[in-house]
Chain A
């Protein structure tokens, strides 16, 4: 048997082929993302779900209607594309004038809804889809065996990619698309129906994802979550390549697939994380991406920010003390387990809000801080047998370091790219947690001892534990409150509103961002460590991307950029989890629905809307009087 650099050549070629196949899917998906982003400025977070719908569509067609692969290749993309068109006309259309992040949040919500519904109907386990008759078998190439279906997928994807490239770069229709990407108003003034073009482009991009899904069905297992994890890798691909160029997306997709394949051959342990490492390297040396030339789109206007002034210091302390008293008294009527869980998540959400709300750096990866801190805290308490205060300190410190490193890389980008980068790093941490020996893999760390706090206070006694959690929450919250009101907080806010201006005033904006991000990570880690001590478990759930989504949900529902919004949001979401647990997957659907409704109807969140309402009412009499005075003057003239 021949070997190449110590690896049997058959294995190497096999892994290369696998890499090429994966690369084909990365290319097709990142291509669609790039086309959609170019036209609509929306990062289509539903892309993975739509890919899944393509594969699922093929499966349903076969198993319920007896319609085979070749027809599915046409019908499934058409159907999913049609759904995409409806989504664009009903929902996305309302977002074009808003910050790009809202598009990302809305499509994230849609993805959750679709994935939740399919999981409910279908179960989350994978189903096989057999290779069509005509493509069974394979051929010996002398150096390796090439299954026909895999050869077909590679050929088909190359044709699809080049076809898309040709249409966009070389045809009249493509010229319209490119022109509308640059200046939709002017293109409209030439008599081209840009809104309809946008609708059709989204439909086509979505259909492309579904087509990739059908191609994937016989290779990967068909399951409701098959698109979610894939999409995160595709986001990393997009960051590596930059979304500016079609050919760039295609090449980067295949390149990343091949790198993955090679890694699997030579160093399999790193094969799931290598993409993210490549992303980090690219961020270091070429932050705009390999093919990215377009400078970062300027951040949109600060939308729906609060016009209300901050309350006075006295009012603020008063509110804080009231909340503290309520939380302290709550166990009399509310189940303490619920209260502790809610307070921990509230701290997590407040920490998230520090960067997302005040720094406008919306991270999609905050679960990495919660989860990794939980693991470290659990490990220190259980395996090293250290007291809880040291375990929590260790967990918090780990999250801070992780936050510093990932933040140092991520703040090179802003807006949607920042979101994608943090999501990708969190996924890397997830894979590490899945594979590393000390995390317990799928089982997680169990039976973490609560121990004696400072050697004196027995945390296994419920009242002590409750007081302990309360103190941590209030401490963390107080810190954030003071921070937001401090000069540091005000500079952070100024930077988020207008980075360039703050920079020209001499502020080292990236240092402020980095400090805020690290602090936020540390506080999220404090929440995660406390969670490990309280629940006595550290598990993969806490590092999973869905946890990052949950903290986003809490914060946006409650009111991003408000002090108490995340607290309210966390209590609502945790209550939903407790009381709606019987509905299974529908909880995910409801989460998704809340995202959609929040983005469309109340972007300030519950607390934000309340503050706004309150202030409008107090201002209203004065404003009415002014109008009346004007009218009186006008009639006199």
Chain B
């Protein structure tokens, strides 16, 4: 199976302070891979670095074998990567519909809006309300939904379960499973270990801006002990 996203020796800075110290990992086509780690480990920074949202970074980010670290931020999405940020990034001055349709198409074969609304029925009646008037869970669904119609095949999801009720977390879990069966490649950042365990093919543990361990999905249960140690649970 060809690798889809390969990150090699990725370093990144906020101003003068260096946050990523050589991240190495890969996500193969059709996989769900998680980045787990404590608060401040550098998970969000990794996603931002991939999307080109940081001023300074170095190393290699290869998409289907093609280097993209030099690309302008607006070009990275156009290569087929979509990003769902930690703080969800719903725009207050846009209606739900506008939020949903905002990201432009980057490739053919994205989901149709009707399909997305089927996935997230809660959004259907709220299409004309203001984006930020939605509940936290609905906002998360909107943030996920809006990157599905662009045609991007690689999704970077930053803590989609943060701060949500168990019912909604389960709903989002089902959605991610469904996206996987649809052939999406997903890089998932999570704090919720239980949630991640049920979904992912592989897990990477991030600590102080490095990958310190890779755990196959099957071995997850057995490694829970050392994991808890890493994550400080």
Contact = CB atoms under 8 A, between A and B. Distances in A.
Interface string B62-99: 00000000001111111000110100010111100010
A191 B74 contact: yes
Interface in A210-248: none
Given A189-B53, A189-B77, A182 B102 contact: no
Contact of B53 (A179, A181, A185, A191): A185
Contact of B89 (A172, A181, A183): A183
B103 interface: yes
Nearest to B132: A182
Interface residues of A, number: 18
B40 interface: no
B13 to A, nearest CB: 15
Nearest to A188: B73
Given A175-B98, A179-B102, A185-B53, A190 B93 contact: no
A492 to B, nearest CB: 27
Contacts of A189: 51-53, 73, 76-77, 83, 85
A176 interface: yes
A319 interface: no
A186 interface: yes
Given A186-B85, A190-B102, A179 B73 contact: no
Interface string A175-210: 110110111011111111110000000000000000
A188 B89 contact: no
B163 to A, nearest CB: 19
Contacts of B94: 175, 178-179
A182 B92 contact: yes
Contacts of B77: 189-191
A178 B91 contact: yes
| Central interface residue in A178, A189, A190, A194, by most chain B CB within 10 Å | A189
A176 B102 contact: yes
Interface string B37-77: 00000000000000111000000000000000000111111
B101 interface: yes
Interface in B100-142: 101-104, 106
A191 B71 CA distance: 11
Contacts of A190: 77, 82-83, 102-104, 147, 150
Contacts of A182: 91-93
B74 A194 contact: yes
A178 B94 CA distance: 7
A186 B74 CA distance: 10
| Central interface residue in A172, A186, A193, by most chain B CB within 10 Å | A186
Contacts of A183: 89, 91
A188 B74 contact: yes
Contacts of B53: 185, 188-189
A628 B7 CA distance: 33
Closest 4 CB pairs of A and B: A191-B77, A190-B103, A178-B93, A186-B89
11 contacts: A179-B93, A179-B94, A182-B91, A183-B91, A189-B52, A189-B85, A190-B82, A190-B103, A190-B150, A192-B74, A193-B72
Interface of A: 172, 175-176, 178-179, 181-183, 185-194
